[in-house]
Amino acid sequence: MSVWALLVAAGTGERLGADRPKAFVGLHGRPLLAESLERLDASRWVDAVVVAAPPGWEEPAILLAEELAVTKVAACVTGGATRADSVRAALAEVPEDAAVVLVHDAARPLLTDGVIERVLAPLAQGWDGAVPALPLADTVKRVLGDAVVETVARDELAAAQTPQAFVASVLREAYAGDLAGATDCASLVEARGGRVKIVEGDPRLLKITTTADLELVESWL
């Protein structure tokens, strides 16, 4: 069973206020992308990796892979305008005979083999996909502008992370359709009636959005 990992790294990361895309902002003296790329490459569960780089940053991404001496990068594609477009571009590089596709945000550097194992396991039990998620600590309100519309039952909510794993054919079908509004892969699979399992997430898989997030993740390294 071959597992292909798509590492989406094409976001601009405007909220970091850096002079370069988020994937190339420094984390412990290396581009952020290096951390997840190295971890995916080292994972015994992953056979090949496709990187979606920001437009104009394909060359630096390839050079980084060479510097890290990673061996599983099969392709580096140009990312799209949205995350979903970047996933679609990377998915086009996955061969027909791949069994499973794992999709991971480069913005979540602290990937572990444990979480990869947790999202892959349900696929062998007939699930179409699996997503790591964390319970919500805060009470969640549905709002319209600054007015509360309602309070949502917290025990029915979970915050989804990546890596997300899917049966390859299911993900391909999901990405053949309309991608509008999709902020993760699972939502597209769910919209087509796919069965997606929630598995235990990892607080250290925090998605880096702000400088404070970057400092926090750096302190965990």
Q: Return d(Cα 63, Cα 57) in angstroms, integer.
A: 10
69, 81, 144, 180: which one contacts ligand C5P (CB under 6 A)?
A: 81
Question: Which one, 30 or 207, has the nearer CB to ligand C5P?
Answer: 207
CB of 14 to ligand C5P, least distance (A): 9
CB of 141 to ligand C5P, least distance (A): 22
Does residue 83 touch ligand C5P according to CB under 6 A?
yes
Considering only residues 164 to 193 of the shown chain, the ones binding ligand C5P according to CB under 6 A are none
Contact between residue 204 and residue 132 where contact means Cβ atoms under 8 Å apart: no
Omega cis (within 30) before 109:
no
60, 80, 129, 194: which one contacts ligand C5P (CB under 6 A)?
A: 80
Rg (CA), the chain: 17
CB of 142 to ligand C5P, least distance (A): 21
The residue at minimum Cβ distance from ligand C5P is 11
Considering only residues 90 to 109 of the shown chain, the ones binding ligand C5P according to CB under 6 A are 105-107
Does residue 86 touch ligand C5P according to CB under 6 A?
yes
Binding site for ligand C5P (CB under 6 A): 8-11, 22-23, 52, 79-83, 86, 105-107, 207
